[in-house]
Structure 1
Amino acid sequence: MTTDPAAPQLQNPDAYDFSFCKLCAEHSAVPTYRLARVTIYVCRRCDFHFINHLDPLPGTQDAPDTELDDKSWKYIEERLAIAEGELAWRLRLVEKYCSLPGARCLDIGAGVGQFLLLLREANAKGEGIEPSRLRRRFAQRKFDLALEEQTIETPFWREKHRASFDLITLWDVIEHVNFPVPTIAIAFALLKPGGALFLDTPSREVLPYRISCQVYRLSGGRASLFLPGYYSPLPYGHKQIFTPRQLTQLVEQAGFEILAQGTGYDELLGMRPPILRPKNKIILVGRKPH
C-alpha cells in the first residue's frame, strides 16, 4: 500500500484528488456511477466505493451549521425512542468484551449522546465527539452533556490523548467521515494497549446495492435504482460504503486484532438470529494488542 494521500488533506479537504482510493491509497479510482447529486468513484485495485464529496472541517467558515430550532428539536426527539433498542444491543456487545465500571470511553460521532448516557449508567467515564453543532446543542440542553466539536484527526486528540482510552466506539460513523483510514489509525493511537474498538456500518453486499449497480451498468447510466439512497452530499452524509472484507482490511491495517465480525448484534452475542432478519449491517469488534 502506498503512502496515504489523505494525510496532507486532513486539514484541507478541498485539495483532495478523488482518483486516489480512500482505502488502499492507490491512484486507481475512477468515476463510475454518475448520479444526480454525486459521482461514485470505484477503485480498480480494491473495489472500494466512495463519492466525490467531503465535508468542510468543523469550526471553519464553510462548515455546515444548522440552528436548533423547534422543528429540529421535534425531529430529534421523535428519533430518540427509535434508537433505544439498538443502543441497548450495542451496550450488551460492549459489556461482553469490556469491563465498564471505571473504564474511559470515547464515542466518536456521538450524535446527541444517548450511548454516553448508557455508559454513564454502567459507571464508565464517557466522552463524545460530535461535529454537528445542532446535535451538540441538543445534547447540552436535553441531557446536560458537553460533546467535543474537534474531530479525532485534530491535534487536540492526537497530541493530548494518546493511549488514553479503554474503548472507542463508532456507531454508524465510519461511512460518514471524510477519510476512514486516518480515523481508524488515530483511534488505534488513542486506545490503551488491550483497548477495544467497536463499530458498525451499512454493508455494500446487500442485494439492493448490488442490483442497483448492475442495473446502472446495463442501462448505460439511465437507471440507478437505490444507489442515490446510499450516498449524500448533505452535511455528514454517507461518503463511502464498505464490504465486510474491506472493513476488516481497514481495521487490520491500522494494527487491530479482529475479535468478532457479523451482521447482527444477536449473532455476536451468541443468540440465534431471526430467519428473516436483514443482513444490511457490518458489526466489528477489534482489540489493540498489548
Structure 2
Amino acid sequence: MPTYQDPFSRCKLCGQDGSTPTYRLDKGEIYRCPHCDFHFLNQLDGNVDAEDAGLSSAGRRYIESRVAEGEHLHPLRLRLVQQHCSIDKAMTLDIGAGLGQFVRLMQQQGATALGIEPSTLRRAYALEAYGLELDHRLADGGYWQNGHSQSFDLITLWDVIEHVDDPRSTLAAAATLLKPGGLICLDTPDREVFSYRLSQIVNRLSSGTLPLFFSQFYSTVRYGHKQIFTRRQITELLQDCGLVPAPVHLDGPAKRAFSGKIVLTARKPTPHSPLPTPHSPLPTPHSPLPTPHSLSPLTSNARYRGLPASQQFCAIIFFNL
C-alpha cells in the first residue's frame, strides 16, 4: 500500500523534509521546519486567477478601504528608496503592486515604473483609478525571466514575500531581473514580535484551541499571508539569492509606521564588488517552546510555588519568551 507524503513536509525555506503541523488556526495549520525553524501555512494559491473576480461594487468598496493605508505608507517607502538610489530615469519594478499606488508614485518621480499584480480585482482598480496596466504574469515565469533579465535598477516587494507560494523562487527571480549594482527593497511582518511569540505558547498550552493573535499573521484566503519570517531568515534568504543586504535607517515617522515589520534593502553585486559572504546555518530555537505536558503541573517548578494559579501561568509564559 503506498504511503502518504504530506505535501507540506518539505520546508519552503531550507528545502529539507520533516516539517510538521505545529500550530492550529480556525482554518489551516502552521507548519514548522525542525531544521531551520521556518513557519508556513498549509495553503497555496497556485497559478490560476479564477477565484478572483473583477471590480464589482463589493470589490470596489473593499479596495477603497485599503487606499488610505497605501497613501500613508508609500511616501515613507519612497523616502527609504531615495536614501539608497536615484529614482529619476531609473527602471523600476514593483512585484505585488497591489492597487498600483507605488508604481504611480515612482512614475511621478521620473522613473520608468512597471508593476506585477496577480489579482484581477487589484489590476482592475489600478487601471480605473490611475490608468495603470499592471502585469498579471509572475516574476519567476518565462515572460519576465527570458525577456527582462538584468533590466531593472530597483525592484520593490512591499508586504509581498509573506503572500507568495514560493518565497525563495520569488526572490531568486527578482535577483535575476535586477541589474548588477541594482537595489531590492522589501518589508514583511516580523515573526519575533511579542504577540507572535505569545501566540506560539498559548496555542501549545491550549492544544491548538486558542490561536490568539495568529489570525493577524496568517490567512487562508486567496493571496493571504502564508509564511512569516524572522529577520535572520529573510536576510539569509536574500544572501542565498546572491544579494548583499544593506543597512536601513528609519526615522521617527517611519519607525512608527513600520512597527512590527522587517524592512530590508539588498544590492546585486557588480563584477568588481565582493560577492556575498557565506552565512552560518539558520538557527534552531535555543530551547523548545513549552508544551502542556512540560508545564503540568504548574507548581512543579519551585520558582512559581506560592503564586496563585493565574500568576503561575503568566510567570511561566513570560519566563519562556
TM normalised by structure 2 equals 0.79
Partner of 1:145: 132
1:192 to 1:277, Cα distance in 2 relative to 1, 3 A: closer
Percent identical:
48
Are 1:232 and 2:219 an aligned pair? yes
Partner of 1:28: 18
- Maintained 8 Å contact 2:24/2:203: no
Partner of 2:42: 52
Partner of 2:158: 171
Partner of 1:38: 28
- Residue of 104, 114, 124 corresponding to 2:101: 114
**Secondary structure, aligned partner of 1:201:** strand
- Maintained 8 Å contact 1:102/1:124: yes
1:104 to 1:273, Cα distance in 2 relative to 1, 3 A: closer
1:274 to 1:167, Cα distance in 2 relative to 1, 3 A: closer
**Cα distance in 1, alignment partners of residues 111 and 255 from structure 2:** 35
| Superposition deviation, residue 95 in structure 1 | 1.0
- Residue of 73, 85, 99 corresponding to 1:98: 85
What are the Cα deviations for residues 215-261 of structure 1, in whole angstroms up to 9, with x where unaligned? 11122222221112311111100000001111111111101101125
Are 1:282 and 2:262 an aligned pair? yes
**Cα distance in 2, alignment partners of residues 256 and 275 from structure 1:** 24
Q: Any unmatched runs of 5+ in structure 1?
A: 1-14, 262-267
1:236 to 1:275, Cα distance in 2 relative to 1, 3 A: closer
Partner of 1:11: none
1:274 to 1:98, Cα distance in 2 relative to 1, 3 A: closer
**Cα distance in 2, alignment partners of residues 140 and 221 from structure 1:** 43
- Residue of 63, 68, 87 corresponding to 1:76: 63
Partner of 1:135: 122
| Superposition deviation, residue 278 in structure 1 | 7.1
Partner of 1:254: 241
Query: Which amino acid letter does the alignment assign opposite residue 86 of structure 1?
Result: L
TM normalised by structure 1 equals 0.87
| Superposition deviation, residue 80 in structure 1 | 1.4
Partner of 2:287: none
1:277 to 1:164, Cα distance in 2 relative to 1, 3 A: closer
Partner of 1:222: 209
1:68 to 1:214, Cα distance in 2 relative to 1, 3 A: same
Whichever of the two has the greater Rg, that structure is: 2
User: Please, which moves more after superposition, 65-74 or 25-34?
Assistant: 65-74
Query: Which amino acid letter does the alignment assign opposite residue 56 of structure 1?
Result: G
| Superposition deviation, residue 147 in structure 1 | 0.3
1:43 to 1:158, Cα distance in 2 relative to 1, 3 A: same
Partner of 2:180: 193
Partner of 1:155: 142
**Secondary structure, aligned partner of 2:113:** strand
- Maintained 8 Å contact 1:58/1:149: no
- Maintained 8 Å contact 1:106/1:165: yes
Matches within 5 A, 1:202-221: 202-221=189-208
Q: Any unmatched runs of 5+ in structure 2?
A: 271-321
1:152 to 1:58, Cα distance in 2 relative to 1, 3 A: farther
